[in-house]
Amino acid sequence: MTEPGTVANAPPRARHPVWRGRQRVDALWFDAAWLAPAQRERRILQAWTPGCRAWRFAEGDLLRFDPPRPLRCERAPGLPLCRIGAHALYSGPLSEAERAALPPADLHLSLGGALRSFELSQGETLDPSTAIELDDYVLYPTYDCSDAVAEGRRERLAVKPLRDVFGHRVPAPSVQREAFLERLARGREDGTGLWQRVAGPSERVAAWLLRRSAAAGRPATASGAGGVPARQIPPPPSAWRQWLERLAVTSRASSLLGARQGAYLRRLMQQFDRGDLLEALRHALPIDGHEPGVGRGFGLPGRRADLGLHGGTSYGVNIDIGDMARELLRKRYRAAFQRLDRDGRIDEAAFVLAELLNVRQEALDYLVRHQRSVQAAELALGWDMPADTVIRLLMLAGDRERAVLVARRDGAFASAVAMLESEHPEHALALRREWGQALVEQGRWLAAVDAVWPDPGSREQAARWLLAAENAGAELSAAALVQRAALLPDTLAHYAARIEALADPGAPAPPRAALGQALAAHKGHNRALALLATRVLPALAADRAVGANDLEARQLQRLLKLSRDPWLQADLPALQTPPLARQRLWERAEPVRLRLDPAAGLQRPLDVAALGGGRYLVALGEAGVAVVDRQGQSLRRYPVPASHLVIGDSGEVALAVIRRDAIARVSRLDLVRHRIDDLGAMRLQFFADRYDGIAWSVVADERIAVLDAARPGLDALWSVGDLGGPVAAAQYFARDEVYLVREREYASAWHYRAAPRRALVSRNPIAAPGEGESVYLHPQGAAWAVFADAQAEGGLLLAYESAGRRHSAVLAAPSGEAQPFWHTLRTLGAGLLAWLQDERRARAYALNLSGQTVAEIDWPEPGLGVAVREQAGHLLLFDAHGRVLDIDTETSIAHSFALR
């Protein structure tokens, strides 16, 4: 018979049984033949660091490091084990022939002169914390640090002023320009100026309007003291300017304007023709701009103070110079650029390209060609060029830190790596590794493996990420098998038992469906993938026939083709994909009517979020955060206080936020590795309840900002201030953010599109609501004026406008009787939620954007303040008594439970 842990009566021997010298050690083995259990525990505690795991076998204890630790093997407290290949740990540098003679296993140790093989599943998981004696420690009262707030967030993507970019090479403003501006200011103060001296009395009204247009026509700007400035949108020509143009045409002001602007253009041409290049460029007019103007110009362009490049996008008025004059200017500008280039005046030449000819990409390429990568990067950042362009220039400038920040902010790693790979492979490699780390921080473990796998030096790390995914939730673990079969096909034999469990038709369908989706989406082919498809396809086809998954016919055919098994193709019955009896919640013609179980739970949730796979994340205040199943039973606890949850898009990371007066403490939860990271505390006014795993939208200190919520410090990736007033309200949706700003004279709604590129969509003043109306923020129209009449016949009358159309609905009173009730409204991305309650009953109505009622929900108790969370594919409602309702918005199927 073989001994426990051995694979043969005559175990093989190793020529070099142990590691020597300095190695990257993955684990330590503490042999039971040499050390007593207490000694082994003491050594494990001494070597323990965050991320370690430990197991106990009959032959000894194993401590595994994550990440590997460089050690000198002769001085190690135990027998060093190092990884060879992607899976197993070895106690010595075995040759390829020696490894081939060993059976598949997690550990291969040289004990007693023979090689022994072990599986981690054979060991008992150790918790070293139980060996720590705490009885003799004195407990002292804690000190309240709630008033201690970290310093303001650092702005590492701040746009530099142009004078800082070009330094002394950009000339200072001229004395003549300053004198001109001073005279202009005096003329505005005393009400007299050129127009009063030139125009007659009959034209003074038009002249006054023309003079006022210079100030009134400027669009408002929002400057960010740090971060990348908000993308601007061109303001449309205003009604007053169009009226003013008509007035100018019907009066002598129009001819006077044309004469003055024509004279200015003639002087400009003469300056170019005389060779007075520097002065001509200071007066030159930009042409070929892609940004529309705000209307006709009623003044003359001023002389430029310098030839510096401007970092932001500006929108000005138009001077109609005609196509012929524009072509003449274009030729002169090109000639000026060529002359400046020949003279080696790089800054002025770049100015002509970017400011006058409006060819900014050509200007950036020109600067890079002349080894001005630093300047090009700063300008691209200020101009808000495409993220991959900014990243490429920052990498070429040697500013890897800010390049990574831009990539993390905009999710632009893939395109930036592709842009750098051919000409600058060293930069592409560095960025690829940062890409993998960013994906892990987002909880996208399998995508991280794909991102770094082309780099041979990162494959060991990728294998560890794959192991982490395999130990995560059931669906992620199942999808990870596909990646293992594709990248490490020789190791799939270790997972035979798991594959057989997934292929069992009696096993739960969702993990098997996740495996099928991943397998059908994979483009490669090998023997391991074929075997995997062969094993799971019959069960997947059976699931689809009864509607247990939503695989399409083409996906099932792809799996059949991938299997390359003629016997399976012959025996498998015709693949059936009957129509799924599903109806999206927000598209229903008739409302779904739901009634909750009146039984209350045992815990009071402050926030609830769906994780997928039938799991939910629950914030319990000072009691911490819990992961619960579909029955409300706790699966895992995280000892971190939380009143609000911010769920990552991957469902594998989350933020736990606890408010203490004006301060919010933020912690990051890694739901795969079960780690808690304290990110810091700051004053938060508003924040989104979802994020992509890195970029988190907040309002802090009267600034709209995006924070890096994957790492301690909560550094700002983007921010905008100078809003004109405080932010009174904010609402966050899947792709949109709407802010209500209380400005000096009125309130305005700022609508930002958060994905795929952050941009300001609109900034509109909000009209004062009428009688019976309230204003609610929503991406369609930025602000809705909703009319609500609780005295209407039949219940509550709602009326609002969406997408330019007026909608109305009458919602029945909760008790169906003529008695007083009160209501609250909440806008959702797909519609509106109305909550009606009286002293006896409570009812919620979900309405889509067309005003159609799609759900009626009778709640067991009134007066509980039911909270709502809208997630991708879920509409969650929960109350203070632990009741939770989850409506699948793709199928309209509801599931409810109470927290236990």
Do 575 and 590 fall into the same domain? no
Do 560 and 601 fall into the same domain? no
As a whole number, mean pLDDT of residues 254-278 equals 69
- Choosing from 131, 151, 168, the residue where a domain stops is 131
* Range with the largest mean pLDDT of 148-152, 195-199, 358-362: 358-362
Give the per-residue pLDDT at 304: 53
Top pLDDT among 251 and 869 is at 869
With cut-offs at 50, 70 and 90, classify the pLDDT of residue 298.
Answer: very low
Give the per-residue pLDDT at 656: 98
In a domain, 343, yes or no: no
In a domain, 873, yes or no: yes
Do 602 and 561 fall into the same domain? no
Q: Flag whether pLDDT at 148 surpasses 70.
A: no
| Domains held by the chain: number | 3
Amino acid letter, 442: Q
Distance CA 701, CA 719 (A): 11
Q: Which domain holds residue 44?
A: 22-131
Q: Flag whether pLDDT at 190 surpasses 70.
A: no
Question: In this predicted model, what pLDDT tens digit does every residue of 725-782 receive, in sequence order?
Answer: 999 999 999 999 999 999 887 899 999 998 878 889 999 888 877 777 888 899 887 7
Distance CA 832, CA 778 (A): 10
| Pairing between β-strand 747-753 and β-strand 883-888 as defined by DSSP bridges | unpaired
Distance CA 616, CA 618 (A): 6
**Model's pTM, two decimal places?**
0.73
- Show the tokens assigned to 18: 């142990």
Q: Flag whether pLDDT at 299 surpasses 60.
A: no
Q: What is the CATH number of the domain that holds 631?
A: 2.130.10.10
Is 179 buried (19+), middle (13-18) or exposed (0-12) by CB count in 10 A? Answer: exposed
As a whole number, mean pLDDT of residues 559-564 equals 90
As a whole number, mean pLDDT of residues 430-459 equals 96
Q: Name which of 210-224, 321-335, 384-398, 570-584 the model is least confident about.
A: 210-224
Amino acid letter, 91: S
Round the CA-based radius of gyration of the chain to a whole number and report it: 34
Contact of 477 with 470, CB cutoff 8 Å: yes
Do 693 and 836 fall into the same domain? yes
Give the per-residue pLDDT at 326: 78
With cut-offs at 50, 70 and 90, classify the pLDDT of residue 696.
Answer: very high
In a domain, 268, yes or no: no
Do 52 and 104 fall into the same domain? yes
Question: In this predicted model, what pLDDT tens digit does every residue of 62-114 receive, in sequence order?
Answer: 999 988 888 889 989 999 999 987 778 999 999 888 888 888 898 999 887 78
Q: Flag whether pLDDT at 560 surpasses 80.
A: yes
In a domain, 331, yes or no: no
With cut-offs at 50, 70 and 90, classify the pLDDT of residue 690.
Answer: very high
- Max Cα-Cα span within the chain: 118
As a whole number, mean pLDDT of residues 319-334 equals 75
Mean pLDDT computed over every residue of the chain? 81
- Choosing from 545, 560, 581, the residue where a domain stops is 581
If residue 365 lies in a helix (H) or strand (E), which one and from where to where?
helix 360-369
Alpha-helical runs (H) found in 191-252: 194-198, 204-216, 239-250
With cut-offs at 50, 70 and 90, classify the pLDDT of residue 172.
Answer: very low
Q: Flag whether pLDDT at 322 surpasses 70.
A: no
If residue 713 lies in a helix (H) or strand (E), which one and from where to where?
none
Using alpha carbons, list the distances in angstroms from residue 254 to 6, 295, 298. Answer: 100, 14, 9
Question: In this predicted model, what pLDDT tens digit does every residue of 633-652 receive, in sequence order?
Answer: 999 999 999 999 999 999 99
Do 564 and 611 fall into the same domain? no
Do 692 and 554 fall into the same domain? no
Top pLDDT among 254 and 503 is at 503
Do 553 and 590 fall into the same domain? no
In a domain, 285, yes or no: no
Q: What's 45-96 look like in SS3?
A: HHHCCCCCEEEEECCEEEEEEEEEEEEEHHHCCCEEEEECCCCCEECCCCCH
In a domain, 216, yes or no: no
b/e map 388-423, b = 16+ CB within 10 Å: bbbbbbbbbbebeebbbbbbbbbbbbebbbebbeee
Q: Flag whether pLDDT at 355 surpasses 90.
A: no
Do 74 and 100 fall into the same domain? yes
Give the per-residue pLDDT at 146: 52
Residue 847: strand pairing partners: 832, 853
Distance CA 779, CA 761 (A): 10
Contact of 95 with 15, CB cutoff 8 Å: yes
Q: Flag whether pLDDT at 523 surpasses 70.
A: yes
Residue keyed to tokens 């995997």 = 532
Q: In sequence order, what are the residues at sequence separation of 6 or more whose Cβ sits closer than 8 angstroms to the Cβ of residue 468?
A: 445, 672, 673
Contact of 694 with 710, CB cutoff 8 Å: yes
Nearest to 258 by CA among 298, 301, 305, 221: 298
Question: In this predicted model, what pLDDT tens digit does every residue of 392-414 receive, in sequence order?
Answer: 999 999 999 999 999 999 999 99
Question: In this predicted model, what pLDDT tens digit does every residue of 427-439 receive, in sequence order?
Answer: 999 999 999 999 9
